[in-house]
Amino acid sequence: MTALLEAHNLRKAFGHVVAVDDVSLEVERGEVVCLIGRSGSGKSTVLRCLNHLDPPDEGWVAVEDEILGYERRGGRLRQLPARTLARQRRQIGMVFQQFNLFPYLTATENVIEAPIGVLRRNRAEQVERAHELLHRVGLSHRIDAYPGQLSGGEQQRVAIARALAMQPKVMLFDEPTSALDPELVREVLEVMQQLAEDGMTMVVVTHEMRFAREVGSRVVYLDGGRIVEQGTAEEVLTAPQEERTQRFLSRML
């Protein structure tokens, strides 16, 4: 079976600094893959390469065997127009560390902005859909609130609903709780756990080891821009084989 999301030999450098070095990854439909590692290990850059926010210098990413930004022709990859890449990227939802909500729009308006502005969907239908999504993330009572009236956890949950509004095939989360006060972390992780239970395919950069252990189908440890070790959550978090993984987990756990 073809993986839903596949990354092949990704490499990304910023000047002389190689942030991602020969990373390959396959994510099956319904999997929750957690990327762990110390700060600066390349986790977030891998995530940004997966949806071409940072296009890889080498290698490629495919969703359901469709390569992002390229097409195979005569055994070679030919670059596609930017508008085609933009269409392809709609299949991948992204939730960032910072919430990036429009401060002058309500929660509902933030959720409907892309489906109406990008996909040209019917406004009334999208408002109804937005209310369903806000209910799904526990914010039925905040549909008309502005970001400044919401807690950090509530803003992040609106950001998750906004990403879901585009009906992505896979969701990417870049340390979604790192900007939150400790008491607000749980409410965001609970929403993510529910998404996983509903079958959403997810790649999550996280320092929340408990979430990785309880929700992750697979855990991938990166160091120096390379995959050092990967396996089930139990294999990696309970009995890591590599010394670098062991050192990292001894500090985290």
Q: What is the pLDDT of residues 57-70, one digit of tens each?
A: 999 999 998 999 99
CA distance 105 to 111: 9
Q: State the amino acid at position 166 in one-letter form.
A: M
First to last CA, the chain: 36
Residues 41, 57 contacting (CB under 8 angstroms) = no
- Mean pLDDT in residue range 227-237: 96
Q: Which two tokens stand for residue 117?
A: 């502005």
Check whether 15 has a pLDDT greater than 70. yes
pLDDT at 130: 97
Residues 91, 164 contacting (CB under 8 angstroms) = no
The predicted-structure confidence for 166-195, as pLDDT tens digits, reads as follows 999 999 999 999 989 988 999 999 999 999
pTM of this prediction exceeds 0.75:
yes
Check whether 135 has a pLDDT greater than 80. yes
CA distance 245 to 235: 11
Burial group, residue 186, by CB count within 10 angstroms (0-12, 13-18, 19+): middle
Check whether 55 has a pLDDT greater than 70. yes
